[in-house]
Structure 1
Amino acid sequence: MLYRTALLFIIFSSLDHAESARILVSIFSPSFSHNVVFRPIWKELAKRGHDITLLTTDPMRDPKLKNIREIDLSGSYEIMEKYKASELLTKGKNEGKNTVKLIVDYLNALDHTADWQLEQPEVKQLIQNTSEYFDLVIVEVMNPIQMAFAERFKVPFIGITPVDAPYRIHAALGNYMHPSVYPDYFLPLIPPLSLLQRIVSCGVNWANWFLQYYTRYPAEDLIVRKHFGEGLRDLSEIEKDMSLLFIYVNPVFYQMRPVGTNTIVIGGGMHVNKPKPLPKELREFIESNENGAIYFSLGTNVKSSLMTDNMKSVIISSLGNLPYNVLWKFEDDSIQSLPKNVKIVKWAPQQDVLGHPNIKLFITQCGLMSIDEAIYNHVPMVGMPFMGDQGYNAVILEKKRLGKRVDRMNLTEEDFTKSIIEVIKNPIYKKNVVEMDMLTKDVQTTGLEKAVWWTEYCIRTNGAKHLKSPVIDTPTYQFYYLDVIGICLTVLASAIAIGLIAIRFLLGLLCRRDSKKKTE
């Protein structure tokens, strides 16, 4: 009996092992929000028996987690700050710096960070260990450098992004792209676009393609070959082998484009948890004003402490005149003589703060994770966008009347105060946020369930190659019917030309006949 029990245990253990997979995950971005949002996926996959190796700038460091090995890349933040990334994002435009130069400088900081990450001993060991293997790679797509891991281990890979994917990624999956209907997510443009906006969208799109193919890819390929060797294909080619794309955006909030079966939208508050009790000091401050409280945070990448003195002055004056307490996430103690109703903290448990019933408003940079958390907790917003998709998100926020947006470049005390009071006093904003939360939660399958199912599907089908769109292999001139249009125009032009020649010939005959009759 004991022998049979042991045998059954070995058999079932072997079956579990066979059904599990080794998954390498790389979340490149030095951004807490880009990492925390996907943690439920890694935990659930590990819970189901898969072995996860996670490259992350924000390790969970939870000894209770099983089947997850974390490679700590938190030093990436220091590299970004070495190249003044936070200053570029927070006050570069306010100081009059050229937008293109700001973008290029920030992208260069990201390249240096990627280079540093691949230099780390544990990462180098992954790359160089010939006995190391994985069944699947999951990689953040904002920077394509880590896609080289899929080429290194010769396995399928899934792309994942906490915002809408950039054009180059939609192109790699064969998804619908049209700058007049779906402008890139970093442009604050919502269709229908005016003629000028369509010109801007197309121009930016073309400029971005040029920058990507003639500047970005070559620079990124150099970094890849430095660490992975000269034998790897170009990143632009590896990118096209992406099996699936997970997009973490709320489809109720965001304007979605038609996508193929291999693009899965998993957003809508997957990372949001029920609020926990606040620390005593924060709770007492939030509850000490009978009118309510406001939470003010610009996220992790934009630093309130790095704003220009003029912008700080406008904000402090505005907040000091409000009849509400204001909890402001501020990274240092540099502000002196704060108004009595304003309290600064270097860090706050944002989800728990937003979940407190006394919070009346959230002043946010309009990152998608922050918006999700506000919607979940029924808190209307005032958006103050700084970077990336934040401007686009702020436009949607205002269009759907979930809040108001303010222009940080032309911020005045009057406009800022007016926006805050309007959102708190007008019940339509609270009503719309509540309705948005109801729609977000009314789904057949949660984002987490979809992400896990499709991940395992990709493993089972060895890359889900049958879902690959034929659009990927269709040249641009064919996709936009340029060859068909060219032939049709040629035929039409030829027919018109032949017709004109025939008419001219007939008119010539008639003229000669009339001339001959007159001569006779």
Structure 2
Amino acid sequence: MNPGLVLLLVCLLSSIASSAKILASIFSPSYSHQIVFRPLWRELADRGHHITLLTTDPMRDVSRKNIKEIDLSGSYEVMESFGNSDILSKKRSEGTPKVILEMEILDVLAKVADWQLGVPEVRNLIRNRSEYFDVLIVEALNPIHMAFAERFNVPFIGVSPQEAPIRIYTVLGNYVHPVIFPEPYLPFSPPLNLKQRLASVAFNTITWYYQYHWRYPQETAIARKHFGNIRELQQIEREMSFLFINVNPTLQQTRPVGMNTIYLGGGMHIGEVKPLPEELQDYLDSSGNQGVIYFSLGSNVKSSRLTGNLLDVIVSTFSALPYKILWKFESSLQDLPKNVKIIKWAPQRDLLADSRIKLFITQCGLQSLEEGIFNEVPMVGMPFMWDQPGNAKTLEKKGLGLTVDIMNLTKDSFTKTIMEVISNPIYKKNVVELSKLMKDVEKTGLERAVWWTEYCIRTKGAKHFRSGVGGVPSYQMYLLDVMLIVVIACIITTLILVMSVVLCYRICFRRGRSLKLKRS
């Protein structure tokens, strides 16, 4: 037989033997959450694996035949039917506390997950008894889709497009502490002062109670509606094999983690720079040497839903600036200043790569922050909710720019902030230095994600990496029961000593008194 043909057959058989069936679900109706992991799906497919992907933003890449996408784009319409944009944009800009809004969004997301699992193609997948998979990759922020792990009896990898909440770190048995590592949704950056420490502990206590006594029961009920009589979701969640987190320790706080927690380094979704559309290129060209300011509130917060006061401050500030402004805005805007151009969508990564972008005004979503850093653009943060306030604190702490408070924004303060970041070279210098640090890695995030995914498949869940700490209650973790016993023991010992001294004193006093009486 032809040796070349034999070699080809061996390679082909080897490829078939090593290929796996992967079920992947990125549940969040958010483009920024979806694009982070697209390179992973493509690379796994290129390595011969077969992927069934549940996504709200299908890639529709016909060149990769071994990626089957289940289209959940209707999730956006479901979100809007429950007032998603008003919650994230209008209510927040009106001053509604973000904690209340975040609880509202969690309720909306649970309803979205309920709708997703009822989509005919998803329902058929759940009911198909001949279907099987080797591993599940699932977004960890919401546990409902983790029920697929029990349905197909497979190990699963949790993925997070941003810093993970304490709840997820706890599941993996990683070290957690509300003061040293505050919840990423809090606008705190360690070291915390006394007021912040109290707030962080209170927030953790309240969210823990809310999660375990409200969210888990509600989410488990939704999962059982579609998957039948499965275990409670918090039990399934504890069996997570790996956690992939899209953060970089040079930007976020470094923390001790176990072998099953993999940092992807951030920026995994940032690919090669592509040419800009002609309209955008012409606009940048028309700015000359002065450059352009780019303003975007991301894919979730809608500029068109901002309240009149905040919107008026932004428009009046832009009209007075000596720069051209490129504003991602979802609809038309009356009385648009002459130096402002509105676009409904922008190729943000490619746009920020152009040297004529002098400033990026951002809501401080993690992916936007990463793109600003990778492209070495100073930033002004305008955070709204979720992890954005915390990211904004990091932005300032690292000297990459400044932030503004949407609750107290004025034309004067906004103008001063913008001009300070553009004119002061220290911000450009800092962002260039941090960009170099973030890119200087032993392995890319994509390489790490692929290797550990295949390792999880090879080892059938890498159970030897699981920590026994994951199921330990907080009172045991922080030695509260031990300290209570020690305190009680100390109190009892002290009481015994005091009582002994009193008793000795009384005995001695009585003897002395008896001797006096006898002598008299």
With normalisation by structure 2, the TM-score equals 0.97
State the partner residue of 1:319: 318
1:165-184 matched pairs, under 5 angstroms: 165-184=164-183
Q: Give the deviation of 1:180 after TM superposition.
A: 1.4
State the partner residue of 1:16: 15
Question: Relative to structure 2, which stretch is displaced further, 395-404 or 503-512?
Answer: 503-512
Q: Give the deviation of 1:396 after TM superposition.
A: 0.7
Q: Please tell me whether the aligned partners of residues 102 and 386 of structure 2 are also in contact (alpha carbons under 8 angstroms).
A: no
Q: Please tell me whether the aligned partners of residues 251 and 268 of structure 1 are also in contact (alpha carbons under 8 angstroms).
A: no
SS at match of 2:54: strand
Q: Give the deviation of 1:32 after TM superposition.
A: 0.5
Q: Please tell me whether the aligned partners of residues 117 and 123 of structure 1 are also in contact (alpha carbons under 8 angstroms).
A: yes
Q: Give the deviation of 1:21 after TM superposition.
A: 0.6
2:225 maps to 1:194: no
Q: Please tell me whether the aligned partners of residues 47 and 66 of structure 1 are also in contact (alpha carbons under 8 angstroms).
A: no
State the partner residue of 1:274: 272
Q: Which amino acid aligns with 1:200?
A: A
Q: Give the deviation of 1:9 after TM superposition.
A: 4.8
Question: Relative to structure 2, which stretch is displaced further, 68-77 or 276-285?
Answer: 276-285
Q: Give the deviation of 1:223 after TM superposition.
A: 1.0
In the aligned structure 1, how far is the partner of 2:47 from the partner of 2:160?
A: 23
State the partner residue of 1:302: 301
Q: What is the aligned counterpart of 2:406 among 395, 405, 408?
A: 408
Q: Which amino acid aligns with 2:447?
A: E
1:75-94 matched pairs, under 5 angstroms: 75-94=74-93
In the aligned structure 2, how far is the partner of 1:241 from the partner of 1:212?
A: 18
- For residues 250-270 of structure 1, give each alpha carbon's deviation from its aligned partner in whole angstroms, at most 9, with x where no partner exists: 211111322111111103221
State the partner residue of 2:160: 161
In the aligned structure 2, how far is the partner of 1:178 from the partner of 1:336?
A: 49
Q: Which amino acid aligns with 2:468?
A: P
In the aligned structure 2, how far is the partner of 1:269 from the partner of 1:132?
A: 34
In the aligned structure 2, how far is the partner of 1:368 from the partner of 1:447?
A: 15
In the aligned structure 1, how far is the partner of 2:242 from the partner of 2:97?
A: 36
State the partner residue of 2:127: 128
2:224 maps to 1:225: yes
5+ unaligned residues in a row in structure 2: which ranges? none
5+ unaligned residues in a row in structure 1: which ranges? none
Q: Which amino acid aligns with 1:111?
A: A
Q: Which amino acid aligns with 1:259?
A: V
State the partner residue of 2:116: 117
State the partner residue of 1:144: 143
SS at match of 1:294: strand
Question: Relative to structure 2, which stretch is displaced further, 239-248 or 36-45?
Answer: 36-45
Q: Which amino acid aligns with 1:357?
A: S
2:500 maps to 1:480: no
- For residues 195-228 of structure 1, give each alpha carbon's deviation from its aligned partner in whole angstroms, at most 9, with x where no partner exists: 1111111111111111111111111111111111
Q: Give the deviation of 1:194 after TM superposition.
A: 1.5
SS at match of 1:483: helix
SS at match of 2:138: strand
In the aligned structure 2, how far is the partner of 1:328 from the partner of 1:150?
A: 42
SS at match of 1:410: coil
Question: Relative to structure 2, which stretch is displaced further, 509-518 or 398-407?
Answer: 509-518
| RMSD across aligned positions (CA) | 1.5
Q: Give the deviation of 1:451 after TM superposition.
A: 0.6
Identity of aligned residues (%): 57
In the aligned structure 1, how far is the partner of 2:371 from the partner of 2:254?
A: 20
In the aligned structure 1, how far is the partner of 2:512 from the partner of 2:313?
A: 88
Distance 1:248 1:414, change over 3 A: same
Distance 1:98 1:486, change over 3 A: closer
Aligned residues: 517
In the aligned structure 2, how far is the partner of 1:95 from the partner of 1:383?
A: 18
Q: Please tell me whether the aligned partners of residues 23 and 53 of structure 1 are also in contact (alpha carbons under 8 angstroms).
A: yes
Q: Give the deviation of 1:494 after TM superposition.
A: 2.4
In the aligned structure 1, how far is the partner of 2:427 from the partner of 2:260?
A: 36
In the aligned structure 2, how far is the partner of 1:144 from the partner of 1:372?
A: 26
Q: What is the aligned counterpart of 2:253 among 249, 252, 255?
A: 255
State the partner residue of 1:47: 46
With normalisation by structure 1, the TM-score equals 0.97
Q: Which runs of 4+ in 1 moved over 4 A?
A: 4-11
In the aligned structure 2, how far is the partner of 1:391 from the partner of 1:50?
A: 39
Q: Please tell me whether the aligned partners of residues 380 and 417 of structure 2 are also in contact (alpha carbons under 8 angstroms).
A: yes
Q: Please tell me whether the aligned partners of residues 183 and 200 of structure 2 are also in contact (alpha carbons under 8 angstroms).
A: yes
